[in-house]
Amino acid sequence: MLKNLSLILVLVFTLTSCASLSNNPKEVDQERAKVEKALLGFYESLNAMFTGDAEKAKDVWSQSEDIVYMGANGEYQVGWDNFYADWKSQVALKLGGKVAPKDITINVIDNSAYTYQLVISADSETSGINKEVALRASSVFRKENGEWKMVGHHVDIIPQLEKEF
């Protein structure tokens, strides 16, 4: 049932996105570029988190109570306060390593956008993950005061990190 609902939501987003694209493709391409910049900013904040810096998340994320974060540790956080508390607990671990998105797909619908990407992590002795790991991730953005802010992020669970938390 949940699988069917997810498929229906993806189809609705895709159809709506296609309709938006036909209205003004140049404008949509410009917004996609801005969403990509916001997405890359998220990965910069994630890499900063691995070294012990939580502050960059404040520039990327909406600080509203409707955000949702489902990170690689398997946690499910709703709302800025819950997310940021979880983020800071991960910061304290100083996991090390680095991640980068690739094969990014971006869809923009009015003041919302969603992305799908693969996430490649580099080797990290401090994280206990001593091989390159590829994950699947999706992110949701909302335009707030003219800027794209992350309001949702989901990534596959990394079993090694599940044990850390």
* Domain with 92 in it: 2-164
8 Å CB contact between 78 and 93: no
CATH number at residue 154: 3.10.450.50
pLDDT at 146 over 50: yes
8 Å CB contact between 113 and 35: yes
The model's pTM: 0.77
pLDDT at 34 over 80: yes
Residue 164: pLDDT band (50, 70, 90) is: very low
Q: What is the pLDDT of residue 23?
A: 66
Percent of the chain with pLDDT over 90: 56
* Overall average pLDDT of the 125-131 stretch: 53
Token pair belonging to 30: 């410009």
Count of domains observed in the chain: 1
Sign (positive or negative) of CA dihedral 136, 37, 20, 154: positive
pLDDT in tens, 36-74: 999 999 999 999 999 999 999 999 999 999 999 998 878
* Overall average pLDDT of the 18-31 stretch: 73
DSSP string covering 66-102: T-EEE-TT---EESHHHHHHHHHHHHHH-----EEEE
